[in-house]
Structure 1
Amino acid sequence: MGQRTADRPYRVEVARTMPVEASVAFAWVADPRTHPRFIPLTRLDGAAREAPGPGESFAMVSGPGARRGRRGFVDRMVVEEVARPSSRTGTVGRTAVRKTGPALLGTAGFDVVPLDADRCVVVWWEEAYLAGPWPRRPNAVLVGVALRVMMHVSLHRLGRLLARRG
């Protein structure tokens, strides 16, 4: 018998075609150091010399003053998977993280699907929910509403940024 709906993670996913080869888009979405360039009101907490790999952690801070160093909503994550895409072989790339709190728990990531030598689809997915005593599924649905808006805006901004660079 299948898993009960209440037990299954609630997934929010937004996809956008990017006007660049898959490895270029993957370099942007797999490296949290670039995220503040396309995710509004967000900064990487701390300095990183390179993109974190599997088992390594990082934190993003979001909020109205986050980019100016003010406090904000902290989202700590551990990299679970990094698999590079290939337009030549049609291999889908994936970067996935596990959210470790203090406020958000769950998983999230980006899939980069090669279309041809000059285009790909970036799929941003999140199965996130607020930590706490409230029921997980309804909480994840409400978190998903805010995530979906932020994801649409962010991928739109990334597409414009990559088109200018292309």
Structure 2
Amino acid sequence: MTAPEAPAAHRVEVARVVPVEASVAFAWVADLRTHPRWMVATRLQGPAARGPELGDRCTMASGPGARRDPGSALGRLVVIDRMVVEQLERPSTAAARVGRTRLRKLGPVLLGEAGFDVVPMDAGRCRVVWWEEAYLAGPLPRALTAPLVGLALRVFMGLSLRRLARALGPR
């Protein structure tokens, strides 16, 4: 008897061209310490002393109360997202090599994978692709929760990538 196949992943993908060389954009999306600077309603919980390395773990808090005092009532209206870095490949414009970051979500609310692909276009532009294959941990089936999580993620990701493009754009 063969093992049952895992349910197909529900992938959500949002892309945006940003006006910087690929290595600059990659530095921003791969380094989890920068995420609160451009991700909507997100904060990094706990210190992060260095840039990304394979095996690094982090916890992000996202939601309407994420940037408030964590002890306040609104501070609890957040999704806690624990992750581990499983892939880091830096881009190269000269070699036309795509940069890739992949994170595994560890719960307690979300499971699955997420990542960024940074596609060099020329010396002053690249395309940042943010993708997620996330679903709710818990008793409800992945096939039910992944599309619902995907709807919320698509809005969150689109707004955040716009903020990234603004942050990296000409001043």
* TM-score normalised per structure 1: 0.93
8 Å CA contact 1:52–1:58 kept in 2: the answer is: no
Cross-structure match for 1:118: 124
Secondary structure of the structure 1 residue equivalent to 2:27: helix
- For residues 5-154 of structure 1, the aligned pairs below 5 Å read 7-70=7-70, 71=76, 72-154=78-160
Among all aligned residue pairs of Structure 1 and Structure 2, give the percentage whose two residues are the same amino acid: 63
8 Å CA contact 1:19–1:119 kept in 2: the answer is: yes
Query: What CA deviation, in whole Å up to 9, does each residue of 1:117-136 have, x standing for no partner?
Result: 11000000000000011121
Query: What CA deviation, in whole Å up to 9, does each residue of 1:4-56 have, x standing for no partner?
Result: 99721110000000100000000000011111111111100011111231112
Query: What CA deviation, in whole Å up to 9, does each residue of 1:90-148 have, x standing for no partner?
Result: 00000110000000000000000000111000000000000011121121000000000
Aligned length: 162
Secondary structure of the structure 2 residue equivalent to 1:15: strand
What is the deviation of 1:65?
2.6
- Determine the C-alpha separation between the residues in 1 that align with 2:7 and 2:28: 33
Amino acid at match of 1:128: A
- Determine the C-alpha separation between the residues in 1 that align with 2:101 and 2:27: 10
For structure 1, list consecutive stretches of 5 or more residues without a partner in the other structure: none
Secondary structure of the structure 1 residue equivalent to 2:67: helix
What is the deviation of 1:63?
2.3
For structure 2, list consecutive stretches of 5 or more residues without a partner in the other structure: 71-75
- Determine the C-alpha separation between the residues in 1 that align with 2:5 and 2:35: 32
- Determine the C-alpha separation between the residues in 2 that align with 1:25 and 1:51: 14
- Determine the C-alpha separation between the residues in 1 that align with 2:140 and 2:67: 31
- Determine the C-alpha separation between the residues in 2 that align with 1:62 and 1:11: 20
CA shift in 2, pair 1:26/1:76, >3 Å: same
* TM-score normalised per structure 2: 0.90
Cross-structure match for 2:73: none
Which consecutive aligned stretches of 4+ in structure 1 deviate over 6 angstroms post-superposition?
A: none
- Determine the C-alpha separation between the residues in 2 that align with 1:152 and 1:6: 28
